[in-house]
A and B are shown apart, each in its own frame.
Chain A
Amino acid sequence: MAEHTIQFEPDDRCHAFLTICKKPVHGNGALAGIPVAVKDNISTQGIETTCASKILKGYVPPYDAHVVTLLKLSGAAIAGKTNMDEFGMGTTTENSGFFPTTNPHDPTRVPGGSSGGSAAAVAAGMVPLALGTDTGGSIRCPAAFCGCVGLKPTYGRVSRYGLIAYANSLEQIGPLAGNVTDVSRLMQVIAGYDPRDTTSYDRPYAHTPEADIAGLKMGIPEEYFGAGVDPAVAASVHRAIDQLEALGATPVPCSIPSMAYALAAYYVICTSEASSNLARFDGVRYGLPADTKKSWHDAYREVRRAGFGTEVRRRIMLGTFALSSGYYGKYYAKAQVARENIKKDFTRILSDVDVIVGPTMPTIAFKLGEKADPLSMYLSDILTVPANLAGIPAISVPCGKVQGMPVGLQVMGRPFEDERVIDVAFAYEQAVRS
């Protein structure tokens, strides 16, 4: 399979990569010889995979994630591993355990996160395609902030085998690229059934984007243009909606009352799942080694204090608290009820309209260091987490600039209608590029 090599020596001035593969091998196929950047929480056989965490420094996976196997079968060259917020926990890529990535449009601003390295690598022109993961917006946020296209597929459409888990019930691997056509090409390669992921569905993706959206109904939720959304960003998105209307789509005002609880529910669920998932990092089987002369708890605590960054430790503790005796009913159980309500609201709205559109992020990219307070960083995820809670597909496509920084238009759709959100994004992209 691996008969050829390419040269890959990018000028990585935004620090998008944690590992660069200078002479990656590749085979033949739909992506023959195309360099693809892979987020560092996706296992790559023989290539260090750290989740941007010191606790996994030096870990070299003995196997490939399913998506990496598929990339190799398609002839793609694995160009390197991209920087991220440690284990995916963050919205800026500043929580990397190694160094922050900067925004290719402005080095004083963040690229968004947590797939900030993948988005920056694409936006800076270092690679045409990249893989990210999206637990609460981690593909769409950096796509919006860096001015590229990113898709969070329907939950279950892309195998998570070999993805180092953070919050299993929310996260999906998905494509990032400079345009919708390339996102669609990468989605063709990575979607499909994998028996090694028990949440995998047999719904391959063989679509080519079509720009005809005449007669389509698009829901415009009032909550996506409410308090906290920068008016200039909202105006940019409204202009994009006008453009979609000019292409024949009909805007339908709607409301998602359960949105009020989405962010709290999301953070309770993701931290709870993280507290369980990250218990495996004990310094015994892989990663930063535990001192085997010490007793279990002492050695375990020492490794985790030294290896995990502050945000990761904060989320593990929050999740442990939310699941602890006496608080489970108040936090975790209520969050699951709120999640069901969000699902019901989306199902109801998406029975009337074909897609839901709004901004991807409430603002443009933050300045480095601007979101030092954890809660204020969490609040910036308000427009992206609903799609993860509902398990529906959502894409971010660039729609103009504010203060010279890109703005993202978000299109969400019914489960397994990734094709439709791609078509809407494609129709918009073609209209503004022509």
Chain B
Amino acid sequence: MVTEKDVEHIAGLADIGINKDELGTFTGQFNAILDYFDLLDRVEGDAVITRDLTNVMREDEITPSLSHDDILKNAGAHEDGFIRAPRVM
């Protein structure tokens, strides 16, 4: 059972942005979906997965890349050839 407070916490972790008036609906839907997910409690076995998989590596070769201009075209804001981002610190 998750509460509105839990959903608010998750929304914060995911940086999803949530309005107070949405919390009730999301919480109700979450509980219905998580109730369904509880089926997985009946799955036998451990979290340890052994799969027949191998990593795919390649040489670090320099290949043609996108131009500076092409990269900046889709950025919201840029200055002196750099992409401008919101303040982090």
Given contacts A59-B74, A285-B75, contact A334 B10 (CB under 8 A): no
How many Å lie between the Cα of A349 and that of B40 in the bound state? 23
Identify the closest chain B residue to A289 (Cβ): B76
> Which of A8-16, A18-26, A325-333 forms part of the interface with chain B?
A325-333
A341 touches B70 (CB 8 A): no
Residues of A within 8 A of B42 (CB): 261
B28 → chain A, closest Cβ, in Å?
10
Partner of B17, one of A265, A304, A334: A304
The answer on a CB contact under 8 Å between A320 and B10 is: yes
Q: If A62-B70, A195-B58, A334-B41 touch, does A305 touch B29 (CB 8 Å cutoff)?
A: no
| Shortest Cβ gap from B42 to chain A (Å) | 8
Is A317 touching B10 in the complex (CB atoms < 8 A)?
yes
| Complex contact A341–B58 (CB within 8 A) | no
Do B14 and A291 touch (CB < 8 A)?
A: no
Q: Which of A62, A284, A337 contacts B83 (CB 8 A)?
A: A284
Given the known interface contacts A308-B16, A334-B40, the answer about A340 and B10 at a Cβ–Cβ threshold of 8 Å is no
Establish whether residues B43 and A60, one from each chain, have CB atoms under 8 Å apart when the complex forms. no
Task: Say yes or no: A333 contacts B76, CB within 8 Å.
Answer: no
For residue B67, which residues in chain A have a CB less than 8 angstroms away from its CB?
62
Which residues from B are CB-within-8-Å of A260? 39
Within 8 A of A (CB), among B9-53: 10-11, 13-19, 26, 29-30, 32-34, 36-37, 39-47, 49, 51
| Inter-chain contact B86/A318, CB cutoff 8 Å | no
A292 B86 Cβ-Cβ under 8 A = yes
**A300 touching B18, Cβ below 8 Å:** no
Chain B, residue nearest A316 (CB): B14
Bound: A324/B56 CA distance, A? 28
B39 in contact with A261 (CB, 8 Å): yes
Binding site for B on A (CB under 8 A): 58-60, 62-63, 195, 198-199, 260-261, 263-265, 267-268, 275, 279, 283-302, 304-306, 308, 313-314, 316-318, 320-322, 324, 329-331, 333-338, 340-341, 373-375, 378
Instruction: List 10 tightest A-B contacts by C-beta distance, closest first.
Output: A289-B76, A305-B17, A333-B47, A301-B17, A299-B86, A62-B70, A286-B74, A198-B56, A334-B40, A320-B14
Instruction: Jot down 30 A-B pairs with beta carbons below 8 A, ordered by A.
Output: A62-B67, A62-B71, A62-B73, A198-B56, A261-B39, A264-B37, A267-B37, A268-B37, A286-B75, A290-B76, A290-B85, A290-B86, A295-B87, A296-B88, A300-B86, A301-B17, A302-B17, A304-B15, A314-B26, A314-B29, A317-B11, A318-B33, A329-B47, A333-B47, A336-B47, A340-B45, A373-B32, A374-B32, A375-B32, A378-B33
Binding site for A on B (CB under 8 A): 2, 7, 10-11, 13-19, 26, 29-30, 32-34, 36-37, 39-47, 49, 51, 56, 58, 66-67, 70-71, 73-77, 83-88
